[in-house]
Structure 1
Amino acid sequence: MQPSSCEIPVTLSSAPLISVLAQLSAPDTEMEAVFASLHRWLDEQLHAPHFLVLDGPSLSYRGSPLSAAQLMSDQGLIAHLFKGDTTLVLNQADLVARQLSKQVQLLPPKPHAWIGCPWRDPDGHRGALIVFSTDKHRYDDDASRLLQQVADLVRQALQSRQAQSQLLALKQQQKRVEHQLAQQEKLLSVQHRVTQLSRQLLPLNELCSQFHQLMGQLLPCRNFYVALLQQEAGQLEFPYMVDQFQRSQAKTRPLARGLTEYLIEKGAPLVLNAAQRRYLAETGAAEELGQVARSWMGAPLVIDDEVIGAVVVQDYQQQNLYGDEEMQMLSYLAAHIANIIIIQQAHRSLSETQQALEGAVDERTRALQHEIAERRRIESQLRHDNLHDHLTGLPNRALLLERLDQLFAQRRRNPGFNYALIYLDLDRFKMVNDSLGHLTGDSLLMQVSARLKRCLRGSDTVARLGGDEFAVLLDSLHEPQDAMNTAKRIHKMLSQPFLINNEEIYSGGSIGIAYCDNAYDNPQEILRDADVAMYQSKAKGGRQPVVFSSTMREAAQKRLRLETELARAIEQDQFEIHYQPVWRLDNEHLVGFEALVRWQHPRKGLQLPGKFIEVMEETRQILELDRLVLQKACHQFAKWHEKYPRMARLSVSVNLSSEWFSRQNSLDVINSILRESGLTPEALRLEITERSLLGQHEQASVVLKQIRRLGVRLAMDDFGTGYSSLNYLHRLPLDIVKIDRSFTSQVHTEQRARDVVLAIVHLANALNMKVNAEGIDDIRQIEVLREMGCHFGQGFQLGHPIPAVDVPNYIAGKNTKH
């Protein structure tokens, strides 16, 4: 327990102690001197040659020659004192006893008497007053009470000192905040004024003067200038400059290696102290021109990412005046000056433009009528071009639809008004284009256009829809037969030869007719139906025009459904491969199989290629089908070669469509399938038709040679049915020629067929090629073909196409279902 006020010794009221405590409470006194005075007072009162003050975990005062390490040992008396919270008085006997019991470890010189008074504040902060003597002395209870009371007073004084220090720190922080707010208010005021000035159309030097005055409120900027780069003139222009050492400033100076040029080159704000400027001078990067500044700062003037100049402030007396805040303010000002320059340039340009416009207004007025007339002419021409075919000059699809719209409206007003649409597609136009060239094809289209015009009345419309397709719109029909009569005239006209470059060219055409019907909702529908009728005419050989009927629409819808089903069939892998055996005719050995695709329709069952191949060719789905068949056949034969040694010598033939020669990666696809399947290239035969080469034999030749270099064998299918068989045969890297079944079927009955086949065999032998006759359906055909020297054959007589699961049994000579 601490003694009450009446128990406090008189010595506590001594003036020296009161003075010491008062000084200790003051936050601005030197604690070391105050504690030294307290030490002297305690030494007088209770013999304290050694005196320690701990405030927190470290010594605040050490009035002892002992080192801090000796005093603050983990096993020393101070650590022992802090294990409790009460005053500890240890005389010689107590010290020895505690050392022997290893409670403490006394380091020399060892104390003879020792008092420690600890305290702990409510926040856990600890402290202590300690006195000890190394000579023979003994502390009694009075000494302990005195030191305890002094410790309490010291603790209170330190708490008061800390509170006053915190209060003082808060006041200082408040002053700093008030100063910052004042500075911020001044900064905002300056920025607001800068913004206001920037909007005034004053001369640049006058604006810069006011900017200079405003900047002086924020930073030392007695010396201030604005420099503009004039690259073509090789100089700097100074629209504004105030410098205490240059009373008569020049408006310009030549470009040099000055700090301003260095700043413009860097294109970023710079604050350069003396050391940095010396370094730039020593390295030759930049040098100070004129009077050397002690503080230097600059910001670039930037317009559209191009540096056009700089704003610079400098001071010749003081160092390190500028920092980040000053740089930000100068950059802010530089941005406004750059905007002012942009605005002034725009005003000058506007003024010059206005003068130029005023000078040209008379001339423009005179030319205006001419321009308006020319514009109308161009607009008329553009409209004509947008609505007419550029080659033939005929109306195009857009104009045809406009006129159909007009007829639709007229029929709604007058139900007795009749019209019809004729859709025309030229026959053999692609062959003309591919064989004789596009110029000849264009000439043919122009002659067709001229003949169509002669076949029609003045009120009728003939349009070119694109490519070799035309449409004829017949209005005000009295009888439906009028449209058929016109179509027949057109058909007869197209059957006549066309004379182009002194050569007669026959074309012909397929024609469809659609009559007006109240069921039509828009022109596209009647155009669609006329197109459907035209395709019906083409399917019948184009011999006569065909009138659209509802059954044709059903057929078109059926065709659309078929296209959709085929797309789904590819996606769901509904196609399977059947294999037809290929035999060597002289020794009757099996040499391979031809892969033939079948469609396993989910409702209709197995479908032969005749049901879907033509549609897939027209929709370009044939590419994916060919890839699928090639992939399946190669993987299947690779497995058979590995599993059945007797099949290792057998090859597989796969048909490729004409689309393979127009795809960019055809070679990569074949190579990739061979690599993935593991089938050797020599075991693969790729078959092409003469029709697939039509119009692209040069490109096909390149692709086929690349395929042949892989080791894959090539065969021409259906040979003898094309237009230029002999022309292709000697130019392509073929291994096998397949005689079309139309010749094979008659070889045993018709001498003409035998002559053709024999000619093909002799030609193939001369070109070092083999001959395969397909479509052998009679045993007599085999004998005739063998006598002619035909190498291979296939057909129902030699073996029907069989599913993949039956091929191993077929090889083994077992019965199959086919």
Structure 2
Amino acid sequence: MKGSTKLNKSQKQAENKLRRLTLLAQRYKQAYITQGALLRLSELASTISDMRDFYPAIHKMVSELLHAENFYVVFYDNESELYSPQYFSDEKDQQIIDQVPSSAFSSGLTGYVVRTGKPLLCDSQQFEQLIAEGHIQSQGSPSTHWLGIPLCRGSKVIGVMAIQSYNEKQLYTESDLDLFCSIGGHTITALDRVKSRELLEDTVRQRTRQLQKINSSLQKEIKERSNAEQLQAALYRISELTASSHDMNSFYHAVHQVLSGLMPAENCYIALLDPDKAKLTFPFYLDQYSPPARERPLSRGFTEYVIRCGDARLINSEKATELVNAGEIRRGMASPNHQARYSTSWLGAPLLIDQKVIGVIALQSYEQSYSYSDTELNILRFVSQHIAVAIQRKLATEQQKRQQEDLERKVFESTRELRQTNLFLRLQVEERKKAEQKLFYEANHDALTGLANRQMFLQQLKQQFALSKRQPQLNMALLFIDLDRFKLINDTLGHHVGDAFLIEVSKRLLSTVREHDLVARLGGDEFVVLLTSLLDDTDAEDIAERIIDRIRQPFLLQGQPVHSGASIGIAQFQNDHSAAEAILRDADAAMYQAKSMGRNRFVIFNDTMRERMLQALTMEQVIQQALEQQQFTAVFEPVLCGQGRDLMGYEVHTQWQHPELGTQYDFSKYAADAGMTPQIEQLMLQQACRHLTVSNNDTGLLTVKLSTAHLQQPELFEKLKQQLAVLEHKHRLCLAFTERELLQADSSAYGPLKQLKQMGIRLALHQFAAETAPMGLLLQQLFEFVKLDATFCRQLPRNEQKRQLLQMLQTLALSYKFRLLADGVDNADLLNLLLAEGCCFMQGKYVAELLSAHELANAPSVVFQQLA
């Protein structure tokens, strides 16, 4: 028994082990089948790109694994809740599937799977139960066994895949359900891949077709544009040939080359009608088989046919035979005495000018392999118009050239006598050029010394300043030179000696500087030296010392030694200089500093001087503010008629009543630097005119001193004339101008002075004999009063030469009808001397003291104040 029991136990263990092995084998087989199905599905997704092939392939794959003669796939739209069959294969309901509505799937097993979202294995009994419970309705032919699974994308059911069997012997099992579920789970992924590939390939095909169409269009457009550009270039070339070709023969050959670039033109000719239109000439004829055509009368050739038609023609062999039979043409007209070879394709276009035919251009081919086309016909028709214009223009040019040559020959023969005159005119032109060069030299150089003048110096200074701005390594410096004792030399030895002195100074300056340095005379005894390309800042100081040493050496003038000196201001170029004039300004300021330190030395401009200049600029701003606030008033200095101790009138001076600085008189330099002198003078003139209007005649003559800017600047002169035009008592107003400013203005001031005199305004020359006592100003007979400089008058008692000059001026005054007025009369001795010399009009401190209080009571409303 124990042995039997052990045997049964071993047998059971073996059976259990066999069952487990069998189960494992079945599971392995099922997994192997499932894995193979999934691989087949992945392979289908990778190889199929058309959905129409995908579903049959799925059906075939499922049929190989399961009983699936009846197989369908239906999609479900969650938003519209509609069903759409994608694939349907059924042995009973195949014919009626197209008429099945969407609702049929909704109420059947398909809809049930969609609603539950779970796989379903349904037999006939379960099918009846679902109907009885109201879950579904019977749709289509009833099956014995139905297997369906949901197709899901994420958590949403998007369709159902199902198989069914109508044979009771072919039923589905749970393992079939598992296999079918595994296939369905990966079907959506495969389906998306196939759809994506299908969409991509369809997009690629559509884009390819579009690109092919675009490429074809572009190729066509490129070809058309290339042809158009080639044709346009040919037209430009034809247009240029009129001017570039030397003669007609080269012109025709060049036209032929242009045509050869557009179409085959081995055989080409140009035929022109004569003026009577009775003959044809062939100025250009190129043919492979025929000699050059000769001039002939019009006949029935191809050329005449185009002339008659007035349009381009393409004639091939058939067309030529047709025209010959119709009597329109006769072949062999090009060379009637020669057995010609007939062309297989002939192309000709008329040459039209103003819609009139002047000739024909033709091309022909003798080869059967090539014939001209309508495209070439249109090109020749278009080009022929431009060729006709070019031929007409070239012929006209050639004719004009022949006429011009005839005319030139006749002119040359008839104007031989004028050659001498022409030579004389050339000499005159040369003389004029020399005169212009001389004028240019005189305009840019000082007439006395031959050095550069102010204009040329400023021009060179600006150029060198701009160069130094671009290349700071090119050091530049400016030397401003003022000669010492020049006025004394001029006054004591005369102007001609002063001129010789300036000439000698200019020579010494030139000997001390380098060749590329510029020496210029600004005027009077002021010279400047522009030093360029300095290697060291001390180079300018060395040159200044050499100049001082040279000028310090005695000058031999009129046989006697004369000593002088030089005060020099040096300004180095700095990057902060805003303009070239700023360097000249700095050098001028440094020169005045050198003079104030004792002369005969040089001073380099520095920041201290710049601060002083800024202070002066501040002063100028104060003056501008004073002008705006009307702080300037007129004061009147009396002018005495000495013999009767009578008051002749007053000279108007400017007084500045500043609220903080008090009364100011000496501000003319700041006003001049600021350019406000004319405005202040206009204000004083207004006040003087106002006094003349409100006062009586006892006031006498009012003298107002003006700068020559009123004469040289048109806008100021016009304003002056407008101001004087409304004045009633013009004869009681006298306008005075200084000797120095009139000499600097040259003759440009004479015209405005004459206009003022014609208006009835009296004129006075002030500060005469302050420097040179130029007699030329007196001989103009413009001035009614000549006021002698105060320094000149004060030197009369101890200077015999100046008394002699006074006597000469008295004689000129009688001859040229002007009155001498002496300034600076500060004592009785000088007054008596002037009276003894015959000068009776005078002003000064002593003159003011002689006037009685009664006479001052009749003065203008502004009380007379003694000037400091």
Larger radius of gyration: 2
Report if TM-score (shorter chain) is over 0.5. Answer: no
TM-score, scaled to structure 1? 0.43
TM-score, length basis structure 2: 0.41
